[in-house]
């Protein structure tokens, strides 16, 4: 039975402060934040502030919408929270015991976690196969999937070099470069403006993504310029990301949210406007291969199967 028979809206939505933390978090990637989002969902299910399945679905729909609005470009948050709601909806209608529904839902969330870990491990193995001795690889921003691939290549004693961009304004690329160098990867850190020389020098570009759409992939601003230049210079571009990052525009639109202008410039006059947008769409046609948990796909096959 429900732990509470009369729960106010404010008590039911205690999670809003936690969602706000996800919205304000600009230093972590989509996998970390998607895991944080699922932690919030799991905690809500565990608290059992709802009396029946209908109340649970309604409350989780509101929570899911808030999480998606907090990070509208992160497909994992959309797909994982919607998956939990869909799972509850698919429990046979004959099942009225809310304790059983709660138990099964929590078990499904744990299963999702295991699958996500398995997918990351598999993508890491597939991606590592693309790295050969004496390769020079260029990456932009910080991706936990890319970082995992590079660390595995290092563990396998592959001899390669990495070029990392600073990835301003938050410099998450520099932070990833520091972690990889500490692990023994040979890394060269460059300013974002030096990408032309870096693309000429590299054998291929390896990037992560927050989302695949019908025609594009979404990553840190600057990716489009790197991809276009790589295409011009006949340098392959590989994208690493799981199928849970596929979220078509017809399902949920792409929305870019401006960030704090002071990160770029402060003390300006009324005639100076500052636009600080972290992410951008890059046409997926610039990619050569896509690395997902199902394997390494040539672009056309990936589009045919998943988009």
15-35 residue pLDDT tens: 999 999 999 999 899 999 999
In a domain, 208, yes or no: yes
Give the model confidence (pLDDT) of 61-100 as tens digits. Answer: 999 999 999 999 999 999 999 999 999 999 999 999 999 9
pLDDT at 285 over 80: yes
- Residue 187 shares a structural domain with residue 108: no
In a domain, 2, yes or no: no
Whole-angstrom distance, CA of residue 57 vs CA of residue 82 = 10
Whole-angstrom distance, CA of residue 77 vs CA of residue 200 = 36
Token pair listed for 37: 């989002």
- Residue 105 shares a structural domain with residue 195: no
Paired sense of beta strands 161-165 and 136-139, if any: parallel
Question: Buried b vs exposed e over 217-256: b needs ≥16 C-beta within 10 Å?
Answer: bbbbbbbbbbbebbbeeebebbbbbbbbbbbeeeebeeee
| Residue-level pLDDT at 279 | 97
Residue at a domain's end among 121, 141, 174 = 121
Residue at a domain's end among 62, 97, 121 = 121
In a domain, 276, yes or no: yes
Residue at a domain's end among 121, 146, 180 = 121
Whole-angstrom distance, CA of residue 74 vs CA of residue 23 = 11
| Residue-level pLDDT at 197 | 98
Share of the chain above pLDDT 70, in %: 98
In a domain, 137, yes or no: yes
Token pair listed for 54: 């209908």
Paired sense of beta strands 279-283 and 216-220, if any: antiparallel
Phi and psi torsions of 279, nearest 5°:
-120, 160
pLDDT at 1 over 90: no
Domain of 192, CATH number, reads: 3.40.50.10470
The average confidence (pLDDT) of the chain is: 96
Cα 64–Cα 70–Cα 72 angle in degrees, nearest 5: 85
In a domain, 4, yes or no: no
pLDDT at 268 over 50: yes
| Residue-level pLDDT at 78 | 98
CB atoms within 10 A of CB 26: 13
Q: Which residues, listed in sequence order, are joined to residue 246 by a DSSP beta bridge?
A: 212
297 close to 305: Cβ distance less than 8 angstroms:
yes
In a domain, 38, yes or no: yes
What is the count of structural domains for the chain?
2
- Residue 192 shares a structural domain with residue 284: yes
- Residue 85 shares a structural domain with residue 153: no
- Residue 168 shares a structural domain with residue 253: yes
Mean pLDDT of the region 165-192: 97
Paired sense of beta strands 211-212 and 186-190, if any: unpaired
In a domain, 267, yes or no: yes
Give the model confidence (pLDDT) of 226-267 as tens digits. Answer: 999 999 999 999 999 999 999 999 999 999 999 999 999 987
- Residue 158 shares a structural domain with residue 295: yes
Whole-angstrom distance, CA of residue 91 vs CA of residue 277 = 41
Domain of 61, CATH number, reads: 1.20.120.420
- pLDDT band with cut points at 50, 70 and 90 for residue 2: very low
- Residue 77 shares a structural domain with residue 155: no
In a domain, 168, yes or no: yes
Mean pLDDT of the region 44-72: 97
Q: Which domain holds residue 288?
A: 129-306
- Residue 99 shares a structural domain with residue 140: no
- Residue 143 shares a structural domain with residue 261: yes
Alpha helical stretches, state H, 53-97:
53-70, 75-90
- Residue 137 shares a structural domain with residue 15: no
- pLDDT band with cut points at 50, 70 and 90 for residue 287: very high
Return the closest-CA partner of residue 190 out of 139, 240, 229. Answer: 139
pLDDT at 119 over 90: yes
- Residue 139 shares a structural domain with residue 171: yes
| Residue-level pLDDT at 172 | 96
Give the model confidence (pLDDT) of 179-213 as tens digits. Answer: 999 999 999 999 999 999 999 999 999 999 999 99
Return the closest-CA partner of residue 289 out of 201, 221, 230. Answer: 230
| Residue-level pLDDT at 25 | 95
pLDDT at 5 over 80: no
- Residue 27 shares a structural domain with residue 75: yes
């Amino acid at each position: 039975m429900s732990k509470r028979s009369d729960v106010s809206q404010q008590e039911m939505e205690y999670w809003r402060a936690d969602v706000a933390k996800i919205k304000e978090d600009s230093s972590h990637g989509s996998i970390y934040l998607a895991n944080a989002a699922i932690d919030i969902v799991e905690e809500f299910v565990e608290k059992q502030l709802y009396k029946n399945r209908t109340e649970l679905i309604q409350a989780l729909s509101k929570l899911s919408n808030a999480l998606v609005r907090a990070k509208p470009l992160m497909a994992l948050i959309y797909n994982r929270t919607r998956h939990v709601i869909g799972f509850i909806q698919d429990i046979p209608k004959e099942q009225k015991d809310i304790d059983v529904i709660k138990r099964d839902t929590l078990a499904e969330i744990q299963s999702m976690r295991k699958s996500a870990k398995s997918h990351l491990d598999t993508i890491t193995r597939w991606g590592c196969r693309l790295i050969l001795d004496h390769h020079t690889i260029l990456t932009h921003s910080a991706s936990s999937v890319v970082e995992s691939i590079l660390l595995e290549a290092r563990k396998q004693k592959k001899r390669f070099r990495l070029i990392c961009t600073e990835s301003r304004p938050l410099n998450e690329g520099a932070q990833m470069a520091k972690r990889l160098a500490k692990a023994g990867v040979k890394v060269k850190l460059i300013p974002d403006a030096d990408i032309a020389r870096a693309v000429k020098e590299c054998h291929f570009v390896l990037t992560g993504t927050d989302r695949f759409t019908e025609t594009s992939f979404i990553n840190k601003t600057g990716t489009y310029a790197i991809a276009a230049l790589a295409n011009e210079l006949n340098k392959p571009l590989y994208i690493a990301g799981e199928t849970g990052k596929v979220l078509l525009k017809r399902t949920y639109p792409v929305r870019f949210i401006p960030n704090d202008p002071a990160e770029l410039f402060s003390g300006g006059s009324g005639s100076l406007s500052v636009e600080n947008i972290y992410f951008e769409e890059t046409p997926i046609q610039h990619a050569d291969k896509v690395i997902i948990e199902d394997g390494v796909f040539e672009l056309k096959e990936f589009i045919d199967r998943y988009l």
